[in-house]
Every structure is written in C-alpha cells, then in structure tokens.
Structure 1
Amino acid sequence: MATSAERDEELDNSVGLAKHLSVQVTQLKEDEELDMRAVTLLMWKARERPELVSSVIEVLQERHSSKKLLDGVEFYLPQLVHMLVHADSLSEDMLQEFMLMVCQVSMHFSFLVFWQLMGYLEDAQPELENGKRNPNQNTDIYLRCSSLVYALERAVVYGDNSEVLELEEQFQSGEIDKANLDGQLRQLRLAHARKLVSYGKSDEAFLEGELLYKRSTRSNPFATKGWKQRRFAIKNRLLLCYRIRDGALKRAIPLYAAEIIEGKTHRTYDFYFEIREIHTGRVFKLAAPNESTRNDWIRHLRKAAEQPPLIKPSDLVDAETSVAQNERHQFFQDELRFVSSLTDISELMRDTEKNDRAGALKRACLRLGKDFDASKGLYVPLKRSTAEFEGVIDVDANHARAFSTRERVPVLLTFAVGGMGTDIATTLHAHYGEGAVQEDASLGQKIASVLMPLQRSPSSIWAEEQELTREASSMSRMNIPSITGVQRVIAKSNDDLRQEAFMMQLISFLDDTWSDLDLNLWLQPYRILPTGRTLGLIEVVEDAQSLDAIKSEYYAEEKRNVTLEEHFQRSFTMPHEVAAARRRFVESMAGYSMMCYIFGVHDRHNGNIMLRNDGRVVHIDYGFIFAMAPGKDKVAHTNFSFERAAFKLTNEMVEVMGGVEHPNWQYFKELCTRGLLAIRDEIDTLETLIEVTGYKSNLPAFNQPGGGVKRVIRELRQRLFIDLEDDEIEVKIEDMIAKAKQHRGTVLYEKFQQRTNGIRPIF
C-alpha cells in the first residue's frame, strides 16, 4: 500500500488533484447508476472548486426521482446537510435546490432533513432552553438553518401542485410517455426549488418594528429584569429579537411551536400581549405603542404560527392555499407533533420519581392513545423513504417500559401498525398530493388519510418504474388493512444522539463492505433518528437481551454465576443447534470485535452488549468512540482507562466459541484478519466521512484535546496499519487477539461496573 508520505505528496499536487477530480466528474455523468458514496466524497474533495461541485449536483438534479439514488442520499444525508450548513465554498444554492427537489418527491425525506436541521438550529440558537446565553451561538448559522427549514416546508406544501397533477393525468391517458413526464416534472420541481432558494435570500420580513419586551423566565432568579425596547422581525416562522444599538440577535422565538395570547391586561401597558413557547413553557411579554400596532403584530404572528407557510411576505394578504396544500401542511405538522410527543414522554419520566414512573408512563401512553387519530396516517419514521409504509393504528400502554439511568430515562413504546403494500414516499404522495384531496372538503377534514380509499395512483413518483406506474394507474381504490404488526421504538431525551447516529452509519458501512465481499463477519445496524440536539428515536433490537439481564435472571433464580456456555447449552438442546449457534456467535464476535477496534469504541460493559435468541451478539450505546472512554479526562485527555485492550474478549466468550483448541477459534482469527484487510481498502471513504462530519462539529468525539478531527483520522490510520503491507496484517491480528483475551483491564472494568452500577460480569 502507498505510504502516508506518498499519499500526502500526491494530494499536495493541486494540478494533479484537479485533473483527477475532473475525471471523476466525467465518470459520474456516464454511470447509469449513481454511487452516492462517490458523489459525497467527490463533493467534499472538490469543495474549493465550485465548477466541479456544480457539475456533480447537476447530475443529482437530473436523477432526483430515482428510487436507488434516494436510498443513497438518505444514507449520506448527515454529510450532505452538514456541507449545506457549514461548507461556504460549496455550490450552496444548487445543493439546496437538489434537496428541495427531493422534498417535492418524498415528504418522508423532508422530515429527515427537518430533524437534521433542528439539531443545527438548537446548536446555534441565541439562548439555551433554561434562558441562559448560548456559548455556541452563531447567528449566521441560525438564520441560515431557519431559512432552510422554512424553504423545506414551502416545498412540501406548494411543490405538488395542479401542474404536476395535470402532467400525471396526461401520462396516465397516454398523451405523454414516461421520459417526457419525468423531464417536465424535473423542470417544474427545479423551477420551484430555485424560487424558494431565491425567496430565502431575501431580507424582507413579514413584519418588523420596535416593541417593549420582557421575558418572564429569567436566567438569574435574583436579578430584576425590566422592560426593554427591542427591534423585532417575523421571518421564517421565527420572531427575531434584536438589540437596537448594534443589531445583535438576542433571542429567537419559534412560532411553529408557540401560542399567541391576547386579552390579558397589564397595570402599566394598555396594548399588551404574550407569546408562550409550548415545549419550554417560557413566556415572552410584549407591549405595543398603540392598539393598531398591537393588532397588526398579533395578526401577523398568528398567520406565521398557525397557517401554511407563505411563499413570500407579500402573499400575506391575498394568499390562498388549495385544500390539498392545507392537508399536506396539516399532516406535516401532525407528524412532527406526533414524534415530539414520543420524546416528550421520555422527558416527563425524567421529572417523575423513580418509584412512580411505571404508573406515570402508562397514564402518558393512555393519554397519547386516547387523543390519537389513526385516520391521519401518522407513522414512526425510523425507516427509509423506499421502505414499506406502516401507519400507527393504536398505542399499547400495557407494554411501555422506562429504563432509568442517572441523567435520562429512555422509554420503550409499542404501537399497533397497519401496512399499505407501498413504500412511504409513494403512500404519502398518493394520499396528500394534489388531486388526492376533494376540493369541496372543509379545511382540516382528513379526506386523504391512510384509512380512506386512495384517490391517486400509488406508484407514480419513481423514475425507474415505468411499467409498474402504468399498471398502477388503473387502480382506483386501495384500503389499508387492519393491524398487521407491532412496532417498538425507544424514545430518548436529554441526550445528543447525533454521535451515535454517525457511529451507526459507520457500522452500516462496515456491514455493507463485508457483505459485498461475502465475508461472514456479522453486524446488526439499527436505525437512530436524532430529532433535535437532545432528542431522538432508536430502533429496538428485537429478540435479544443484554448479557447483564441474562446473568441477573440466572443469579436471581440460582444464586450463582451461570456462565455463557451454560446458557448456550440450555438454550440450544440438539448438538447441531449448539454448533450452529456457536458459529453465529463467532461470526458476530468477529464483526463487533473489529468494529470496536477500528473505531476505538469503549464502555463495553454487559448492559451494552446484547445476546440474540439465535446466539449472535449485538452491541448498543456508542457514547464513547474514537478512543473516548469512561475514566478519560475529557479536558486534559489523560490516558487512564480500564479498557486498554483492542476489544472485549473474556474467557467465557472464548469458551462459547469452543475454546482455543476448537476450529472456531482459528475461524474467529481468520475472520478478524480478513475483515480488517477489507476495511483498509476503504480508508479513503472513512477518512472523508470523518472529515465532513467533524468539520466545525460540536460532537464530543471531534472535540477531544490533542488534535480534534486530525487526531481521530491519525489514530484511525494507525489502527488500520496503513503503513504496513497486507501480508504483515495477520501477525498483527494474532498478537492483538492474544493480548485482548482476558486482558487485565477488561477484567477490572467488569468488576468496576459490578460494584458501581450492579452490572453482572462476564469473566
């Protein structure tokens, strides 16, 4: 393999790099199927060459409605959004236009982008939830993200219009062919996206002026806060509050989650009104100079808070939206509120005494179920746009569970769901697109719900499905069945899940790489969806228990340590079943051992390692990655950590494999060697993903002392032995496994977790 010095010398040659990138762009244009990995890497490497990035994005725009492309776009969405928010030298407008084009195809994609942007908004907001100043405030990023969120919502509401419906009808009647349809739809969506990008650059506000202002919730309870004169502006569904003397943004109130209150009186100010943030409960007191000004502000604030987003401020008086557009907006808001209600339950449990949580959780789920309207077609969004749609029909309060930790209380929620037989993007398009809603319906009536007949062809959005679209167009009705399954999800608050989501992306990449090469290293990626800076949803690992839970159950019954080998013997009674389970255990141990080693994953106590019913292990909880570890000083970056081995490998685990004399032991070592060799060839992709994600990032993994992103990449290259030849790797792996087996630090960490947290050990 090329040495590090040789690689650096090659990259330093700017002329050679430019030529290399140009060749890659040409190749992308010629490929029948776009590789989103290659696209993402190329966009980042060519970020200082806007003409090349523009060429790449043109290819994306050309194929924006490809089903396969959308899968790739959603996989690399964290990096694409990060580039959109932070990389100023990129062709920002074109990338935003592409995103908005896809939002017009898939409402589910819009939700995913929305939640990504909410994390950045909350990172950069002027003040924190407790009212204190945000030390990471970034006004430029905040306003940019708010503009992107508003454009996204506009794309959802107005993108699917009567022109789109007319084109689809012409195709279904045979007046135009599929190529003509796709071409005209692409031009319509691109034109609409460009308008939205243009409007987003405008400094025009819906209303601006000076008001007296006072916040009722103070960051310092002993300080007296008086009324202040501030300049306010309504823009992008926000009420922005500026200091008059220097124009500094002091705070911002999201109007899409606010209540406008009038009618209250104030002993000093006659023209008084309030704004209350629904989620935080904070109240902002405002006073206008006269009644006319107050009424004007209240009218504009309610328009911004309650109704579909306007295309531009001048639409405030005359704008009218179609019934279908109102229905799309209502569904968009309802789905966001539904997901928010799940994480709200987790936050509620944090404020509930531990002994009272079981009852409080059941009552919260009963309230959610009582108020739940299955006809809206709401769903748990832990899937791709192209995955089958499953609408939530009911909430199962009896199987809810709270998991108590020191600082947070994740909750396990269970839903009865019903499938439609079509993917998420197609289903939502069919029910909420123009023409799917009856124009004579009253506003708010759910004509296009998933429990009602389809009014529109369910298969008309994907560019690949020409024949299927034709056949589907003859279907006039399709009804959702009753309950077809159960879906479980973990809702979490007070925890930044974005680092774990990135780790799961890396695990998925490893899994795909090994699968493509037919290697038997086994991993089970699961979906993690951050919905804000400290909120999110996590897919449940089904048919599995933590090693701690298994050990604890045995100890409660038998008052002794039942080994993993005994557990396997009891779980798999027939000899061939035991042999198959051992092999599955070995393959999963190899996969997770190499994953933990490559990415420096720590905190591998037995509450974070699951054992499936089929004998495979699954690791969860990735709060400590890239050499972060409990016990390491996050400020001084000390070297102290119990977990000094490359990965966790205890005698009990080796015993389940069959012991060091069993062929499985050699099989384990071979898998580890082949797995590491395969990932060495993907160093370019891993480095780029880390570079993009770590660029100006607030994630803990990229803010460790000692070099940040550069340090993470340097240590990754060291762990992959990039400077060694392939034939030298086997010896390194043999030595690594020998040292990891029953490592003293691993044993000490098992004892430490048992004494401090009551987690049963695996010795």
Structure 2
Amino acid sequence: MVVNSKLAEEEAFKSKLVEDVFGKENKGRVPMDKVMMLIWQFRDDPSVVEFMAQFVTRYSGRRDVFDGIEFYLPQLAHMIIHLEANWDDAILERFALIIAQHSLHFALQLNWILQGAIEDYQPELPSGEPNPNFNALYYTRCVKLLLNIERCVVYGTPRKHELQRLYEKGQITKQEYDTMEQADRMFNASQLSNAQKELLEAGTFGGNLLYKRLVRTSCCSQKGWKTRYFAVSERMLFCYNVHPSEGGRLIRAMPLDGAVIMETPVSDAKYPYMFEVHNLNYFFRMRADSEENMKKWIRILEEERDSHNLYPYQIWSQKKTDGEDDDEEQANGYHRQESQFLQDLTPAQKARYDFFKNQRDFTRNLTNVAEDLRFMERDERKKAAPGLTAKLEIPSCVYVPLCNSSDTWRRVCSIVSKETRVFNTNERCPVVMYFFTRRGEQISHHRGGMKNATLDTAEYLHLQYEVPENKMMDPITEGDDEKGMEDVEVELEANSSKSLLWKDEIEKEVADEENNPSSHSLKDTSSFDKSKRGNDLLRSFVKENIARIPSKLKVRLPQKQKSMLAKLPLSSVPILENRGEDDESSVVSGANSGSMLVDGGVVHKVENDGIDEESIKRATAFICRGDNWDKKSEKMLTSALESNIIDSEATTEVSGVMIKSNDDLRQEVFVMQMIHFYQSVFAKASLPIWLKTYRILSTSKDTGMIEFLIDSTSIDSLKKSEMFPQSGNLRDYFEMIYGTPDTKSFKAAQRNFMLSLVGYSLVSYLLGLKDRHNGNIMIDVRGRLIFIDFGFAMGMAPGHEFSFERAPFKLTQDYIDVMGGINSECFAEFKRLFVAGFEAARANSQIALGLVEIMMYKSNYPCFSGPRYGGKKALIGFQNRLMLHTSDEEVKQRALQLIESSMMHSGTWLYDRFQLYSNGYAM
C-alpha cells in the first residue's frame, strides 16, 4: 500500500508539472523551475527530454526564460555530466551548446563548471597519486564538451549576419529571423555533439613509450620504467596501460594547455631520448626508442598544445580526401592542417576566440594570486599582495563574471592594486581586490559609434563580437542596392542592439497569432489542435516545428480548464534578480551599490529606510573602521580621475571581489542558489522577509570568487571592537548606535534586524545550515544579519553526530533582547513572519526538493556524500524539515514550536563556548 501510494503521488506530481507548463491557465510564461523538474522526472524517456529541450530553445531568447536557464545551470550541467553520459543521444549537451552560442557569458559559466568536474574525475590527483574518484566516462565526456563549447563559441552562427541584413531590408519578418537564426545554432550544436567518435579517431596520435611515474610528494618517491601507450587528442595527453583497442585502461591524463614540453635536461637524463611534459599540477617523464621518435613526439605535443584544435571535423574530411593511408603521415598532416586552419580563422572568429581565452586567463590569473600568497609567510602576505595585483595584465575586454547574461555590462578597465586586502588563515589566503568597471562605452567606431549605458552583458558581447564580415554578406548583396555596404552595416548594428538578441515581444506575437485566424493554417490537419489542449506557447511551438508531443506528456494535458491537481504544493517561483537596487522597497539587495562616476561627477546611492545619517555614521565607525563603501568608492574614483587612470567618457564604478584558492566553493554555490530560491518564494508571497543573496562563482575544483560584502563585518569582529559596549550585548550596541528605543532610527534598525533574522532562521532550519558561530554571521551598518560560509549544510555539522548544534536554528538571548524580549511587538512580528515564511516554503516544496534531488545524484558535495550524508539521507532530512506529512492546520503550531525549541538552546550556547575557547570567536 505504501509503495502504491508513493507511485500515485509521483504520477500526480508529473501530471501537475505538465499541466502547469503546458496547460491553458499558463498564458505566455515558460516556468523554468517546472521545466527543469519535468526533464528530471522524465529522465528515463529521451523523447520527453528532447521535446522539452526543443521547447525551451524556442523561447530562450526571452530574458525571463534565459534568466531561468542560467539560474538552473548547476542542475542542467549536473544532469549533462552524470545522467546523459549513459544516454544514446546527447540531448541536453546539444541544448547547452545552442544556449552557449546565444550568450558568451553562459558559455563561460558552463566552462567553469566542467573544469571542476574534470578535476573531480581525472585519473590522478595533482600530487601524482591515483584519484580515488576517477571516472573515465565522466572525465572524457567533460573534456570533449569543454572543447565543443569553445568550438561553438568561436565558430558562432555564420548565417546570422546574412539573416540580419535580410531582416533589415524587409525581406524576412522578425519571426522568420528568429526561427532561422535558432535553426542555425541548432545545426551547429548537432554537428558538434554527433561527431564525437569521428573527431576522436581523426585527432588521435599515439604510440608506446617507456614511462616512469614521478610521484610529486615531499619524499619524491620514484618507480621503475614501464611501457605505456600514450595518445594525443583534444589538447590532452592520455596514458593507457595498453592500447585502448586491446582493452587498455586509462591510468593518467593531463591537459596540454600551457604545458612545458622539452627534452629532459642533461643533468637529469640518466638515459637517452628522455623528454618531459609538465604544467602547474602534472609531470610526465618519458623515453622514446630513438632521437627521431623523441623529436616527433615533442613536435606533435607542441603543435597540439598551440593549435587549440577548434574544428577537427573539417580537417578530417579534408584529410580523408587527400588519399593518405599511412597512420604516421595522417597524424603529421592533421597537425599541419590544424595549425593552418587556426590561421585561417575569420576576424570575427579570431576575436571571439581571443575574448574567450582572455577572460578565462584573466580569471585564472586572479585566483593564482591567492594561490601564490598562500605559500608565503603570513606576515609577508599583506605586503606582497598589492604588488602581485599590480602586475596583473588586463586584456582589452574582460569583466568580473559575477553576474547574469541579462545584467548590465561592466568592463574591467583597471585594478586598484593599493587597496588589495588579504585574510590570513591556516590553509588559505583569500584576497579582496577592487576593480574600476565601466559601462556605456562606445562599442566600435566603424559601427556608428554606439554608446548605451544600459546594454546587458549578452547584448554587449553580441554587438562587440558578432561583427558582420564582407565575405559573409556578399552572397546576398544586390547590384542595385541604393545603400553602400558601410551604410548598411551601420544601420544594421544600430538596430540589432535593440531587437535581434532578446525576443521579449513573444507574448505580443502569440497574442497576435491567437487573434489572427489565418495564422492557424494547421488547425484542421492537427489532431492536437482539434483537441484544444495546451496553451498558446505549446500550440505555436508544435505548429512551427511540426513536432509531436510525446505521449507521456500528451495524456497528462487536461482538456478541462480546471484540474483536480490544484492542491499539490507546486506553485511557480519567478526568480528575483538583483536589478532592483534602485527600488528602496525592494527585498533584493544590490551588488556593491556605491558611488559612480557619471559625466565627470560622482553620483551617490542612498538607501532610505528610516535610519538617520548620524546613526549611519556611528555604525560605520564600528562596522567599517573608517569610511563606508559609498565614501571609499568615491575617494577611489576621484583619485583615479585626477591621476588620469580613468576618464569621464563612460560611467565608472568600483567592484569589490574576494578571490579564493584551495577552497571548493561548489557546495556554497548550491546553498546560495537555494537561499536565492527562498528569497524569491518569500517575495512572491509578499512577505517583507530579508535575505542577502550574493554572487559566488566556482572556477575549478578549488578556486573561485565571491562578491565582496560591503559595509558589514562579522559579529565576532564587532564585539571585539574597543568601542563596543562592555556588556557585550547587541541590544546595548543598537541603543548606542541608533538611539533610544523610542526613536525612528532605532525602530528602523530593529526592524531590519528582525526581518533578516526571520529570513536566516528559516533558511538555516530548512537547509540545515550549521557552524553558525559569530565569525560566520555578519551584520551591516543598518542592523541586518548576513550569514556566510556554507561548508556545513543539509544537516552536515562539525562533530557530525556529536555536534552541539541541535537547535532548529540559532536564536540566542542576544537576538531576543535586540527585538525587545519575548513579549514585545517586534518578537510577535518575528513569530508571525516565521510562520508565514514556513507556510510559503511548504507551498513550494516540490521544486525545492527537486533541486536537492538533482544535485545529490552521484554528487561529490560533502553534504551529499559519505556514510553519514550519502544515499538519500540529506533528501529525507530535508523532507522531514518541510513537514510534508503535517496537516495545514497543525503547521502553525509546529512552526511556533521550532521557535520555542531554538530559544536559548543549550547546544547553541555550548557551540559558541567551544568556538570561543578553540578559535577565539566572541560569543
């Protein structure tokens, strides 16, 4: 009975998903949260997955849809790596490649996710020891997909410029342009994903070499020479125990990008014909059987390293027609042709390649600074950091990638090296860097001199690198054109910026189609149309693509307007984006909102929440130990302007970023995604609950960057301040800073504190956040709490089963006193909002559970792995915390009991005490 009940619930959930995405009540929206759940729920049916991927592709040009795709990129990438690896068809990979052609920023984000996965599953660790997590299937899949992303980015969509001109000349409609441009991207993605086997065969050079493993540990232990089969392919050097055709097992591999390839120095060469390949993390030493063979290997390795191997399928077809039969001649010819092909890239392709490479190199160089400082003595780091950042080269077009494709473009123009800060810890050295970033710059002189301060990241990169080239336009140039080529090009670029990248007017198109009887030309021939099932988006997609709805979806589409499934806890959650920073009532917090240089003058951003200026000044003295961010950024801008480091030609801002190395940020990225999800849930329910969502980017397994939190400090640091009240209580601090309890400023700060405490109490409980000592809890100048460092989540805790942190969430006497005690109106409001927030979370539980379920599938996250947290333990714990089997009538009482259980919990006090004695964190 239990099994049957569970199956019935799963089937009802699937039907509800289909109804909400394709049903008639959903007018004009593509809810990406439910689309992602549909793909996951029907993951065993490729026809459904392919239909959903094609459906989303059709509407991916809308900003809201694209924002959703990027928000759920961690889940999409996780499925591509771990789920699709065993499928016969690379459906989701093609989808990702199509989207990557639409946005260079999306391509970069996916690139960094794959880089981390490659390091997870590579054959060996950087030390040279075998990797216990090595997985040949996932590893090779990620390597190939990484290269395919680069290929589709560089190659672009070659027909786009012809289509743009046809559209500008009125020869095709906007809808026809969208359809053909999208078909172009789909064709490119299909070519890349379907040719993998041929590419690998075409691009492989291999042979036997003698090899000695040098285990790079402190003792540098060595092993004897062994014969191994080596293969060079896809900018990688692979080492097998025997030839793969004989069942060879991959035992080592290293990326050739940036590798040093050389003959072994005479001092180290105990045997003839020795050569070596090494980079930051890998070291291969090998022996050939002759000098000629050694030189051939070195040459081929160098060419593979330098060639970048963008489009081997074109080389392969050319090579096959040359009639070369000898394997060695084919391999040599392959590398010669490959190098020549790179030289033959068009200017636009070369520009896109340079940008993609420069942005990755720039990001890697930033994290290398943190890594270099980590190996210095702690007292030397502060002195060395400004010098290391000053040496960083800034390419002509790079940006801080802590944003969305639809966020405003900000180009990094300079680093404020003298302001660089370091944080000393035992195992790592996080570095805070400041950059001058610009928006509204002139894109290109030959394109009409366009300047637009509102261009988003995807639009800017589209205009900057989708350069129409004469040879692309020639096929459609008409001899009787009244306009010259230059005039057409300027007109094209001026118009394309506002209409050809994003397609937000689709809702209007669909409405027009619905009101236009002639547009329903397939009405009488389609049994689906006759049934009147599905919304306008679905019907339009089916007609345009002559697509068949998979039977598993079609049978779930309700024919009646109302459904019996409405009571399922599954409502759509529009994800809030941080573009509400100018809205004082917005629950969304802007990123690094400080001073800006506009037209030569400094413009300030002022938040008006009822706290007076004098109170903010007093708080700034405690929190910032000097100037607040607004004043600090103003000084940086003014000084740079006076020193001619920047000019007044474009809007200039200061962006602060924390760079980290030797730290896996991927679990933190996931937790912040969940916090962002719940922030959107509360906003949708019109609850004034406050949460700070900040950007976290993992660029590899152990490097990344985090948006720097301005005008805030840890409670530990605050309480250690010399001016902090001797009582050590936050209540006394609030009265000292914001005035007596009856003042407007105090009440505003108290409310800020309460609203943030509600938010973090809810997400701490729901997401099982632990390690909540006062070094991991920040407070800003307006009295709001901000939780950081999510290394312990989903119930995972320091000490594991012996953890002191047994309370549902942290609610100390200190916090209660700030709110005025348990009998105060403020505390009553805290309880009311906590209950309302918990009810809103339950109403959206299925999407949240789905996000967790996807990410825990074959996961390496600490909170999802190991005997304590692996299997489905984390998911079961999450379900229990959501109280899904508790009736709605009982939920309020159960939520209030969570507050009662958390108040002054002895475990919370003991953990704070433990942190005081072990690490010195103030209580």
Please report the TM-score for the alignment, with normalisation by the length of structure 1: 0.88
> 2:416 is paired with a residue of what secondary structure?
strand
Shift in Å, 1:588 = 0.8
Matched AA of 1:261: M
Shift in Å, 1:90 = 5.8
Please list the CA deviations of residues 309-351 of structure 1 after superposition, one character each: whole Å capped at 9, or x if unmatched: 3312662415221122122112111111111111112212221
Q: Is the 8 A contact 2:796 2:869 kept in 1?
A: no
2:60 equivalent to 1:64: yes
Shift in Å, 1:434 = 3.5
> 2:61 is paired with a residue of what secondary structure?
coil
Shift in Å, 1:561 = 3.9
Please list the CA deviations of residues 125-174 of structure 1 after superposition, one character each: whole Å capped at 9, or x if unmatched: 0000111100110011100111110111101111233x222212222333
- Quote the residue 1:624 is aligned against: 792
- Quote the residue 1:739 is aligned against: 901
Separation in 2 of the partners of 1:372 and 1:521? 40
Matched AA of 1:211: L
- Quote the residue 1:567 is aligned against: 733
Please list the CA deviations of residues 557-616 of structure 1 after superposition, one character each: whole Å capped at 9, or x if unmatched: 468344212222232247111111111111111111011111111111111111111111
Matched AA of 2:122: Q
Matched AA of 1:305: R
Separation in 2 of the partners of 1:291 and 1:431? 48
Separation in 2 of the partners of 1:408 and 1:222? 24
Separation in 2 of the partners of 1:689 and 1:558? 42
- Quote the residue 1:386 is aligned against: 406
2:280 equivalent to 1:259: no
1:673 pairs with 835, 838, 841, which one?
835
Shift in Å, 1:58 = 1.5
> 1:705 is paired with a residue of what secondary structure?
helix
Q: Is the 8 A contact 1:436 1:455 kept in 2?
A: no
Please list the CA deviations of residues 483-532 of structure 1 after superposition, one character each: whole Å capped at 9, or x if unmatched: 61111111111111111111011101100001011012211111111111
Separation in 1 of the partners of 2:649 and 2:405? 20
2:237 pairs with 213, 236, 239, which one?
239
Distance change in 2, residues 1:559/1:195 (3 Å):
same
Separation in 1 of the partners of 2:649 and 2:471? 23
- Quote the residue 1:224 is aligned against: 222
Distance change in 2, residues 1:390/1:366 (3 Å):
same
- Quote the residue 2:207 is aligned against: 209
> 2:55 is paired with a residue of what secondary structure?
helix
Please list the CA deviations of residues 357-389 of structure 1 after superposition, one character each: whole Å capped at 9, or x if unmatched: 101212211212xx334xx21111010011011
> 2:663 is paired with a residue of what secondary structure?
coil
* Stretch moving more, 589-598 or 297-306: 297-306
Q: Percent identity?
A: 34
Q: CA RMSD in A?
A: 2.9
Separation in 1 of the partners of 2:26 and 2:777? 45
> 1:659 is paired with a residue of what secondary structure?
coil
* Stretch moving more, 705-714 or 193-202: 705-714
Gap regions ≥5 residues in structure 1: 440-453, 468-478, 633-637
2:431 equivalent to 1:411: yes
Please list the CA deviations of residues 442-484 of structure 1 after superposition, one character each: whole Å capped at 9, or x if unmatched: xxxxxxxxxxxx97754432122699xxxxxxxxxxx994561
2:782 pairs with 614, 627, 631, which one?
614
- Quote the residue 1:699 is aligned against: 861
2:922 equivalent to 1:760: yes
Q: Is the 8 A contact 2:17 2:34 kept in 1?
A: no
Matched AA of 2:108: F
Shift in Å, 1:211 = 2.9
Aligned residues: 719
Shift in Å, 1:406 = 2.8
Q: Is the 8 A contact 2:157 2:184 kept in 1?
A: no
Task: For 1:153-232, list aligned pairs within 5 A.
Answer: 153-161=150-158, 163-202=159-198, 203-204=200-201, 205-216=203-214, 218-219=216-217, 221=219, 223-232=221-230
Please list the CA deviations of residues 274-321 of structure 1 after superposition, one character each: whole Å capped at 9, or x if unmatched: 3221x33x4323444455544544444333322343312662415221
Shift in Å, 1:433 = 2.0
Shift in Å, 1:738 = 2.1
Distance change in 2, residues 1:536/1:4 (3 Å):
farther
2:617 equivalent to 1:595: no
Q: Is the 8 A contact 1:83 1:90 kept in 2?
A: no
* Stretch moving more, 428-437 or 497-506: 428-437
Distance change in 2, residues 1:289/1:461 (3 Å):
farther
Matched AA of 1:196: L
Matched AA of 1:57: A
Distance change in 2, residues 1:228/1:12 (3 Å):
same
2:301 equivalent to 1:301: yes
- Quote the residue 1:714 is aligned against: 876
> 2:137 is paired with a residue of what secondary structure?
helix
2:461 equivalent to 1:428: yes
Distance change in 2, residues 1:303/1:185 (3 Å):
farther
- Quote the residue 2:310 is aligned against: 310
- Quote the residue 2:135 is aligned against: 138
1:535 pairs with 703, 713, 721, which one?
703
Matched AA of 1:560: Q
- Quote the residue 1:275 is aligned against: 277
Separation in 1 of the partners of 2:23 and 2:157? 33
- Quote the residue 2:643 is aligned against: none
- Quote the residue 2:145 is aligned against: 148
* Stretch moving more, 49-58 or 708-717: 708-717
Separation in 2 of the partners of 1:466 and 1:675? 34
Separation in 1 of the partners of 2:269 and 2:662? 39
1:49 pairs with 42, 45, 49, which one?
45
Q: Is the 8 A contact 2:463 2:493 kept in 1?
A: yes
Separation in 2 of the partners of 1:214 and 1:673? 64
Distance change in 2, residues 1:303/1:65 (3 Å):
farther
Please list the CA deviations of residues 619-668 of structure 1 after superposition, one character each: whole Å capped at 9, or x if unmatched: 11111111111122xxxxx3x21111111111121111122221111100
Shift in Å, 1:542 = 1.7
Task: For 1:72-151, list aligned pairs within 5 A.
Answer: 72-88=68-84, 92-151=89-148
Please report the TM-score for the alignment, with normalisation by the length of structure 2: 0.74
Shift in Å, 1:722 = 1.6
Distance change in 2, residues 1:70/1:302 (3 Å):
farther
Task: For 1:517-536, list aligned pairs within 5 A.
Answer: 517-536=685-704
- Quote the residue 1:449 is aligned against: none
Q: Is the 8 A contact 2:413 2:438 kept in 1?
A: yes
Separation in 1 of the partners of 2:233 and 2:291? 22
- Quote the residue 1:372 is aligned against: 394
Gap regions ≥5 residues in structure 2: 316-333, 441-452, 473-491, 508-646
Q: Is the 8 A contact 1:148 1:200 kept in 2?
A: no
Distance change in 2, residues 1:587/1:683 (3 Å):
same
Matched AA of 2:36: T
Separation in 2 of the partners of 1:704 and 1:226? 35
Separation in 1 of the partners of 2:736 and 2:471? 60
2:380 pairs with 344, 352, 356, which one?
356
